[in-house]
């Protein structure tokens, strides 16, 4: 059931039901974040392993304070970026109301303030945050339209149009400095650096001891994926992918970036002018489209590691690893 009335979504959520909602990144499968039953329902619908925690979505930064402990740089970055495609992992406060089921039993939570006007208005009408993973079956492609959600899940879906970014939010560990990127996403490393320009680096003693182990000094070329539940094989289309293709083999469809290679019977373009932001917005829709086309396998043209290229390549490597881990390097 696809609809566009946000009041209907609000009533369903208040009744502890689970609803697919648009965000600026991808569609989320949302339920009341403080309600254990709604949270369990999300896991069951997605067939998601219990150890893979959810992101909590809030109306604004102020609303998060009773649940998580802020560090100075994380607060600086969130204030500059929210509402927007940034998720921060922060320690829980002793008074946090987030159920253990939503955090996978960890003493931290992943939180964000989304900017899509529909989810913003819904969050403002609710008494607390919404827990929402991407609205796909576990391990499948993320949905960037209401129709993508409907292919995977039989749930009420609020249609807010195609997602502007088309890639999940960037997840940072907000507890440690220097910054550790847990999942590259719609906020690029360059954007993060710009937003933190002029921020005074805090002294190490501001942070809990023992956190240093997982710190990378320069997250750009050496991104460590540390999210629990973020397995290498993820984000998979139903057809095998071949990355960095410079020619087309028999039976292959083409995922093009820039002027396309010749010879493919199906070609879906990410960005003719080679723009990684445009390519990110088209990525999941393009993979959904190639999945439904006549090709047997998918050849992917090289995509640079600049801007959102880093997050796009992360998703493509995971999609590739789902079929042939040995041929993919990370
Ligand atoms: O853009 C997005 O982030 C979308 C929209 C719907 O907000 N959501 C999304 O959720 O991508 P999901 O569940 O597909 O991915 C959430 C990731 C998981 O990989 C999980 O491991 C990580 O967040 N995560 C959640 N809580 C965490 C925690 N306490 N520590 C580390 N990672 C955490
Ligand atoms: Mg997901």
Q: Which domains does the chain have, with CATH numbers?
A: 2-217 (3.90.870.10), 241-328 (3.40.50.11030)
Strands 55-57 and 108-112: parallel
pLDDT for 301-314, tens place per residue? 999 999 999 999 99
pTM, rounded to two decimals: 0.89
Taking alpha carbons only, the member of 254, 79, 235 closest to residue 168 is 235
Rounded to the nearest angstrom, the distance between the alpha carbon of 54 and the centre of ligand 1 is 5
Model confidence band, residue 162 (pLDDT cutoffs 50, 70, 90) = very high
Q: What percent of the chain has pLDDT over 70?
A: 87
**pLDDT for 210:** 39
Beta bridge partners of 134: 28
Whose atoms come closest to the Cα of 87: which ligand?
1
Residue 250 backbone phi and psi in degrees, to 5: -55, 135
C-alpha 137: how far from chain center: 14
Q: Is the CB of 96 under 6 A from ligand 1?
A: no
Q: Is the CB of 110 under 6 A from ligand 1?
A: yes
What is the full DSSP assignment across 265-325? Answer: SSEEES-TT--HHHHHHHHHHHHHHHHHSS-SEEEE----SSTTHHHHHHHHHHHHHTT-G
Model confidence band, residue 319 (pLDDT cutoffs 50, 70, 90) = confident
Q: Is the CB of 71 under 6 A from ligand 1?
A: no
Near ion ligand 2, which residues have CB within 5 Å? 134
């Amino acid at each position: 059931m696809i609809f566009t009335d946000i009041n209907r979504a609000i009533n369903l959520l208040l009744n502890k039901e689970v609803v697919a909602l648009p965000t600026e990144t991808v569609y989320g499968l949302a339920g009341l974040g403080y309600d254990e039953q709604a949270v369990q329902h999300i896991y069951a619908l997605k067939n998601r392993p219990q150890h893979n925690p959810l992101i909590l979505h809030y109306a604004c930064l102020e609303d998060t304070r009773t649940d998580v402990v802020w560090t100075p740089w994380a607060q600086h970055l969130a204030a500059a970026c929210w509402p927007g495609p940034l998720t921060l992992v922060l320690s829980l406060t002793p008074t946090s109301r987030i159920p253990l089921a939503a955090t996978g039993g960890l003493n931290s939570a992943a939180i964000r303030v989304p900017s899509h006007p529909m989810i913003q208005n819904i969050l403002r009408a609710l008494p607390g945050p919404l827990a929402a993973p991407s609205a796909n079956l576990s391990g499948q492609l993320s949905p960037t339209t209401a129709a993508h959600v409907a292919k995977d899940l039989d749930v009420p879906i609020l249609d807010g149009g195609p997602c502007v970014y088309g890639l999940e939010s960037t997840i940072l560990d907000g507890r440690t400095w220097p910054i550790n990127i847990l999942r590259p996403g719609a906020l690029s490393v360059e954007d993060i650096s710009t937003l933190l320009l002029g921020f005074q680096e805090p002294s190490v003693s501001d942070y809990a001891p023992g956190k240093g182990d997982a710190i990378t000094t320069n997250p750009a070329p050496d991104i460590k994926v540390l999210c629990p539940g973020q397995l290498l094989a993820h984000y998979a289309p139903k057809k095998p992918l071949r990355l960095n293709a410079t020619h087309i083999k028999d039976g292959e469809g083409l995922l093009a970036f820039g002027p396309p290679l010749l010879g493919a019977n199906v070609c879906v373009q990410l960005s003719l002018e080679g723009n990684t932001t445009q390519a990110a917005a088209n990525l999941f829709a393009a993979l959904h489209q190639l999945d439904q086309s006549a090709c047997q396998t998918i050849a992917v043209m090289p995509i640079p590691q600049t801007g959102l290229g880093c997050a796009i390549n992360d998703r493509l490597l995971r999609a590739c690893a789902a079929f042939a881990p040995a041929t993919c390097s990370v």
